[in-house]
Amino acid sequence: MTVTRPSTKASRQAWVAATLADCQVRSQEELARLLNERGVPVTQATLSRDLEELGAVRVRAGDGSLVYALPGEPGGPGSRPGLPSTAGSAGPAGSAGPLGSAGRTGSAGPAGSAGPVGAGAAAGRAGGETGAATAAGTAPPGGPRLARVAAELLISAEASANMVVLRTPAGAAQFLASVMDHAAWPSILGTVAGDDTVLVITRDPAGGADLAVQLLALAERRR
């Protein structure tokens, strides 16, 4: 298995939400430390904005202390995508961490298929932008539109043989899959989308890992 995790806003906020769901976090400093241990370094200013956008609130824990929590309704503001729990799986940058096992394509993961950011708004921003060249002045493999959408929506990519499982915020998988289909990427045979999961099939029987790495690079070029 090969797992890649882009340094995108969607990916970072998914890790913030997963950490808050699995740990009793009493301060932003503690949250920043936990994220860093999972290979997700973040500045205080960025973390503050993420918590606000996720709708995080401070609630009273069983021991009387105040801890951060997210709205519990699946799919609601601040809820997280269907990712496996991070409990006991913290790892350094580059390791699989909590994204090391894929759920079933087209179904919610064990956390309940909620998105770390407003997927509709994110998709609208990504889809509404006009075409432009990359910073290097050349179009990326999937085209500039796919680069923008991947930067906005791609949370993780996990590869096995000729398959790649992509994670997105809730409700964004079909939009990402549609953009990939229209990009006519030669190495992609087809896509199947659920709510927060896209299954991508490559033409090369062993091309999944290479495609996952290319998608990661594509997303990070548009940061």
Residue 180, token pair as written in the block: 């990939």
Percent above pLDDT 70 for the chain: 65
Q: Is the pLDDT reported for residue 80 higher than 80? A: no
pLDDT band at 40 (very low <50, low <70, confident <90, very high): confident
- As a whole-number percent, the residues of the chain with pLDDT over 90 amount to 38
Position with higher pLDDT, 140 vs 45 = 45
Structural domain contains residue 49? yes
**pLDDT tens, 156-198?**
899 999 999 999 998 999 999 999 999 989 999 999 999 999 9
Q: How many CB atoms lie within 10 A of CB 157?
A: 28
Q: How far from 212 is each of 34, 124, 159, 168, 218, CA to CA, in Å?
A: 26, 24, 6, 14, 10
pLDDT range class, residue 5, cuts 50, 70, 90: low
Supply the pLDDT for residue 62: 86
The answer to the question of residue 79 being in a domain is no
* CATH number of the domain bearing residue 208: 3.30.1360.40
Show the domain range for 122.
2-73+103-220
* pLDDT of 29 above 60: yes
Quote the pTM value. 0.58
pLDDT score of 173: 93
Only one residue has tokens 């929590």, namely 69
Q: 2 falls in which pLDDT band (50, 70, 90)?
A: low
> What's the pLDDT tens digit per position in 84-143?
334 333 333 333 333 333 333 333 333 333 333 333 444 444 444 333 333 334 445 678
User: Does residue 85 lie in a domain region?
Assistant: no
The answer as to whether 46 is a domain residue is yes
4 burial via Cβ count (<10 Å: 0-12, 13-18, 19+): buried
Between residues 118 and 208, the one the model is more confident about: 208
Residue 30 lies in a domain: yes
Answer yes or no: is 96 within a domain: no
CA 136 to chain centre: 25
Q: What is the pLDDT of residue 222?
A: 52
Domain count, the chain: 1
